[in-house]
Structure 1
Amino acid sequence: MTNIKLPYGQGYLEAEIPDERVAGILVSDMHHYKPAETQVEIVRKAMENPIGTPRLREIAKGKKKVVVIASDHTRPVPSKVIMPLMLEEIRKGNPDADITILISTGCHRGTTEAELLSKFGPEIMASEKIYVHDCDDESMLVNIGTLPSGGELIINRLAVEADLLVSEGFIEPHFFAGYSGGRKSVLPGIASRKTVMFNHNATFIDSDRSRTGIVDGNPIHRDMLYAARAARLDFIVNVVINSDKEAIFAVAGDCDLAHIEGRNFLNSQCKVSRIPADIAITTNAGYPLDQNIYQAVKGMTAAEATLNEGGVIIIAAKSNDGHGGEGFYKSFSEEQDVSKMMAEFLATPSEDTIPDQWQSQIFARILKNFKVVYVSEAPDNIVEDLHMIPAHSIEEAIRKADEILGKSDAKITVIPDGVSVIVL
């Protein structure tokens, strides 16, 4: 028997699969990568050797208002490692800098005090100014121009008024922006809902360039990079993390050039060749990425890339926060015909994009081609309303997949971390 261990919430699910059924296991080499230095040493070294810019301490000289964009509660960025080093470096260049940490929630809910404490620790919480971005707070939003696609670029006022704008983040495969990190700190991170909606429009999402691991010709990436430049994002510190959410590689410097270096490292570790099978088991990498069904669509795209036509996706995502998006949920609970949904998405003008439409569009694409068995703690009725089949263990999910396929010997490809691999 082959034992599989899948990230699930803050723990793991384990299951045994007969050896003869396992087609293969797709695992990022990153999980086996063992850096020679500690996380602090890795980040510090990157900051001492920035790509395309002077050191942050030099950039900070003479800059009164400094804004550091930080990720929110949905991203496993090791901020306890990165943020103290960034703050130290800024103050070495400018001891009197007026620093604000701006939480880049995008269109997510606001990050709670408890989540901020978990993210930064008590010292930063007690001593630093922290502001949580709200994409709907008109009083805190400023229009700074037009994106290449024609959308309005509206971002947080604190970033616009800053003398120096920098960001922390992490780089991982992203299912329509190509990669996370870098320029995404601005768009969608601190952008208005209107700007995010336009950037995530149906035509862009439908592009075959808007896929995991692709930036060349990716219209979503193009707008995001333009937004970062327009906002004067002068310096980034981005890390690549392993399955334990620890930094194993870091880059610092220019928001594009440093990001490219990070992507190159990620590609060297994360690209895997598809292993065709009738069943694919995947995850959304555990906490914090598997808190809801909405986010778990990302992990499904890895399974989508390896499955045979008409196959079954099994995804394990704890989803203790439920569906994760009201618009996303209603789109599926109120319409049973996913082909009709797709047609409606594609007919929607960019400026009329609605919240969660992009996620719904990608999810509909998956549901058109595959059955999905969902292992979670979400209520069964919510899972069923979202056109999926609920299960509460991997063993139960495999039994249900076998019933769907009408056979008990279908080959299975396992993807323990569905957001860390780029399936070719």
Structure 2
Amino acid sequence: MTVSHIDLLFGKGHLAVALPTGARATVIRKGVLPKLSNPYDAIMAAFAAPIGAAPLSELARGKASACILICDITRPVPNGLFLRPMIETLVAAGIPFSGIIVLVATGLHRPNEGDELAELIGDPWVLARVRVENHFARDDAMHVDLGVTSTRGTPIGIDRRFVEAELRIATGLVEPHFMAGWSGGRKVVAPGVAHHHTIRTFHSARFMEDPLAVQCNLVGNPLHEEQLEIVRRLGACYALNTIIDEDRHLVHVTFGEIIESHLAAVNFVAASTRIDSPRRFRTIVTSSAGYPLDKTYYQTVKGMVTPLDILEPGGTLIMASACSEGFGSVEFREAQERLMELGRDRFIATLTAKSLAEIDEWQTEMQIKAMRLGRVELYTTGLTADEQRITGVVITNNIEAALRDAIARHDDPEIAFIPEGPYVVPVFAGA
């Protein structure tokens, strides 16, 4: 069947990209995982038969307080499916509503409030019955100092609302993460509700430039190893781990001890997410996975890094991202300004001596990895002219024209399309 266009995830919908005449498309998608016919039953079954832990009702029995971590608005976690049954289970076991807090694991992102918070929670029943609050990494008084990690000396500061709760539960989405290997589980704790010194240590060049700190890798990954030590230092922690498909439907859920249940979810999804490619491509078209990940240029960088293993050196990577909320934080803007002023090599040189990264400059560091390998182009509808300038990449207002130019530049009609962006990890499987 002849393909005339490819739909990329873009904003809250899709962006149809027409194939130039003579172009040949290879579409790289996740393996198909059937959605759960009854998500509620699957969630309750996970609570009743957890991995490496007692059932949730038993974990809650005799406890007076619980803290439930959820990811912030940048992650499409189906909170509306599991928060109410989780809270109802805790209350039935004896924890009062007043003893339960849902804590948004913002890391160093901005807080989620008002209508955005309601969207994030996904269930007014939850908002009406328990406290829902944001983590603030720069509020020193709200963190407990747990010392430093044994191998790398990472300072451990964790939100006291989580540390002091009698029952600690992290919830999240298990997907490829371009530094920590996989999101979810232990990552929702640190950096999710960590002090800014912890987060900035994680994002220092010492970690970021480590060749094992890449997507889909947990073996020897320094970020993952530090995260494991931190959750072990906390004591008993549990996690609800979700996996969704390209249409945001729930396809798998695990619950249990935070490390074991997370690893079980990783093992379930890895084969369908890490996709072998028999060749590399001179032209790749990808997305930032649509809403909510493509709300800012800051988050868009993730989509630039994920496909690098199949980009021919000197090739062209074309990104499509709505950036509906604009650029990102003030600190990220400042880092991009420094990149434009100093250039790639001098910018990286300013990072290597730091034990604490400046806030959000790590995303600029990750963008440089893509810029070192090839030409990066961006199609967006959400950035001002000045914001476009400090991206440091080539801006295109016509993605089809950019495709035609790339084909001509490389004299190669083969194009790889990755509609779901960083949620799919293509890997060169050639000799």
TM-score (norm 2): 0.93
Give 3-state SS (helix, strand or coil) of 2:306's partner: helix
Counterpart CA distance in 2 for 1:50 and 1:20 is 53
Superposition pairs of residues 104-115 of structure 1, within 5 angstroms: 104-115=105-116
AA aligned to 1:388 is V
Q: Offset of 1:382 from its aligned partner?
A: 1.4
Give the structure 2 partner of residue 330 of structure 1.
Answer: 334
**1:316 aligns with one of 317, 320, 335:** 320
Q: Matched residues in 2 for 1:338 and 1:219: separation?
A: 24
Letter in 1 for 2:166: D
2-side partners of 1:88 and 1:161: how far apart? 21
Task: State how far apart, in whole Å, the 2-side matches of 1:211 and 1:396 are.
Answer: 32
Over residues 59-109 of structure 1, what are the superposed CA-to-partner deviations in whole Å (9 max), with x where a residue is unaligned?
111111211111111111000001112112212222436101111000000
C-alpha separation between the residues in 2 aligned to 1:259 and 1:19? 45
- C-alpha distance in structure 1 between counterparts of 2:92 and 2:276, whole Å: 46
Task: After TM superposition, give the deviation of residue 43 of structure 1 in Å.
Answer: 1.9
Q: Which residue of structure 1 aligns with residue 295 of structure 2?
A: 291
Cross-structure match for 2:180:
177
User: Match for residue 342 of structure 1?
Assistant: 348
Q: Alignment partner of 1:419: what SS?
A: helix
Give the C-alpha shift of residue 173 in structure 1: 0.5
Q: Judge conservation of contact 2:189–2:231 (CA < 8 Å) in 1.
A: yes
Contact 2:35 2:249 in 1 (8 A): no
For residue 387 of structure 2, the aligned residue among 382, 386, 392 is: 382
Moved more, 334-343 or 285-294: 334-343
Choose the corresponding residue for 1:391, options 391, 396, 399.
396
What runs of 5+ residues in structure 1 fail to find an aligned partner? Answer: none
Name the counterpart of 1:208.
211
CA drift at 1:35: 3.4
Deviations 1:30-83 (CA, angstroms, capped at 9, x unpaired) = xx3213532222222222210000011101111112111111111110000011
1:343-399 alpha-carbon deviations (Å, 9 max, x no partner): 222x2232x311113211111121122211111121233122221122234214324
What residue number does 1:421 align with? 424
Corresponding residue for 1:119?
A: 120
TM-aligned CA deviation for residue 159 of structure 1: 1.1
CA distance in 1, matches of 2:36, 2:161: 38
Find the counterpart in structure 2 of residue 80 from structure 1: 80
Q: Which residue of 2 aligns with 1:251?
A: 254
Q: Percent identity?
A: 28
Change (3 A) 1:344 1:4: same
Question: Hey, what does 2:24 align to over in structure 1?
Answer: 22
Check the 8 A contact 2:65/2:96 in 1, yes or no: no
Cα distance in 2 between the residues matched to 1:177 and 1:301 = 13
In structure 2, the CA distance between the partners of 1:400 and 1:348, relative to structure 1 (3 Å rule), is: farther
Q: Say if 2:294 and 2:321, in contact at 8 Å, map to a contact too.
A: yes
Q: For residues 78 and 200 of structure 1, what CA distance do their matches in structure 2 show?
A: 27
Deviates more, 1:318-327 or 1:156-165: 318-327
Whole-Å separation in 2 of the counterparts to 1:132 and 1:383: 31
Q: Distance in 1 between matches of 2:184 and 2:256?
A: 13
Distance apart, 1:277 and its partner CA? 1.2
Q: Does 1:239 align with 2:245?
A: no
8 A Cα contact 2:12 2:290, kept in partner: yes
Separation in 2 of the partners of 1:58 and 1:108? 34
- 1:50-69 to 2 correspondences below 5 Å: 50-69=50-69
Q: CA deviation at 1:231?
A: 2.4
Take 1:313 and 1:387, find their aligned partners in 2: how far apart are those partners?
14
Structure 2 unaligned runs (5+)?
Answer: none
Report how many aligned residue pairs link the two structures.
418
The whole-number CA distance in structure 1 between the counterparts of 2:236 and 2:418 is 35
**What secondary structure is seen at the aligned counterpart in 1 of 2:422?**
coil
- 1:217/1:19 CA distance change after superposition, 3 Å: farther
Aligned-residue RMSD, C-alpha: 1.7
Match of 1:44 in 2: 44
| Partners of 2:283 and 2:415 within 8 A in 1 | yes
Deviations 1:208-249 (A, max 9, x none): 110010011000011111112222352111110111222100
Aligned residue type for 2:272: Q
Using the size of structure 1 for normalisation, the TM-score is 0.94
